[in-house]
């Protein structure tokens, strides 16, 4: 009996190992564009783990298309930027909390504003079908002005983030327009002083099934210099 149990255990472990080896890879693909809808060739697309270390990366082709084949699991983030433009004429696109899937379409869109650090949560028992989303915007125009100061270590980093109103922010959840119910500016502690961040409360689609992952997209325009940016968050409701 013990020999049979041991044999079954070996067979079971071998079967699991074989299934893992032959597991179908996850394919993340899409087109990288600017805010005029033009494709961006030679853009670097990087998938990262929780330590912000590259797990996989590629470069877009002449049509702005990219494709990554990776192990089917969750990932911390995906960024897109043509490195020759980074910090000079453009800032990167970020997508957060990449979920496991057979295939996943992510179409990055970027300009001169970074929408960073997206997080979301629902207040328990609020009775409102809404969600709170946090993000931290940074304008390249404002950052260049801040860097031109003689002593950046003694200056307030909040100036690199725009002062926003609800009209400057567009939110979609699973492709549906989400109405912004409220907007609150916050101070996020940084290495140098504080940075400007925002909490927004916005409506959830009525059709969202429970226990499914939603795609939240935040597009921001700096009202003073027209720098634009977009960020994405995959939110599972936890």
Does pLDDT of 150 surpass 70? no
pLDDT above 90 covers what percent of the chain? 74
Per-residue pLDDT band at 17 (split at 50, 70, 90): very low
- Long-range contacts: 20-23, Cβ < 8 Å, 24+? 23/71, 23/72
78's CB contacts (< 8 A; 6+ apart) are: 28, 45, 46, 47, 48, 94, 95, 98, 106, 108
**pLDDT greater than 50 at residue 15:** no
Instruction: Write down all domains in the chain, each with its CATH number in brackets.
Output: 9-110 (2.60.40.10), 112-238 (2.60.40)
3-state DSSP call for residue 9? Answer: helix
**Measured CA distances, 2 to 6, 9, 12, 74, 190 (Å):** 6, 10, 15, 39, 60
Could you tell me the two tokens for 115? 């929408």
Mean pLDDT in the chain?
A: 88
* 212 DSSP 8-state letter: -
- The predicted model scores a pTM of 0.87
pLDDT at 3 over 80: no
Write the pLDDT tens digit of every residue in 68-118.
Answer: 999 999 999 999 999 999 999 999 999 999 999 999 999 999 999 999 999
């Amino acid at each position: 009996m013990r020999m049979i149990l041991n044999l079954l255990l070996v067979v079971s472990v071998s079967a699991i190992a074989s299934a893992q080896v032959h597991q179908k890879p996850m394919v993340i693909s899409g087109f990288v564009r600017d805010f005029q809808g033009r494709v961006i060739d030679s853009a670097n697309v990087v998938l990262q783990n929780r330590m912000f270390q590259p797990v996989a990366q590629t470069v877009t082709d002449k049509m702005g298309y990219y494709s990554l084949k990776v192990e089917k699991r969750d990932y911390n983030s995906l960024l897109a930027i043509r490195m020759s433009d980074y910090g000079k004429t453009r800032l990167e696109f970020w997508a957060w909390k990449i979920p496991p899937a057979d295939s996943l379409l992510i179409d990055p869109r970027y300009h001169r504003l970074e929408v960073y650090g997206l997080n979301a949560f629902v207040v328990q028992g609020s009775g409102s079908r809404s969600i709170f989303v946090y993000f931290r915007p940074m304008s390249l125009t404002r950052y260049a002005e801040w860097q031109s100061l003689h002593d950046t270590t003694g200056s307030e980093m909040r100036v690199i983030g725009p002062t926003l109103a609800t009209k400057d922010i567009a939110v979609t959840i699973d492709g549906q327009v989400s109405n912004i119910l409220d907007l609150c500016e916050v101070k996020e502690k940084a290495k140098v002083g504080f940075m400007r961040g925002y909490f927004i409360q916005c409506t959830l689609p009525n059709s969202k099934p429970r226990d499914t992952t939603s795609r939240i997209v935040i597009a921001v325009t700096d009202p003073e210099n027209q720098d634009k940016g977009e960020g994405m968050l995959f939110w599972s409701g936890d």
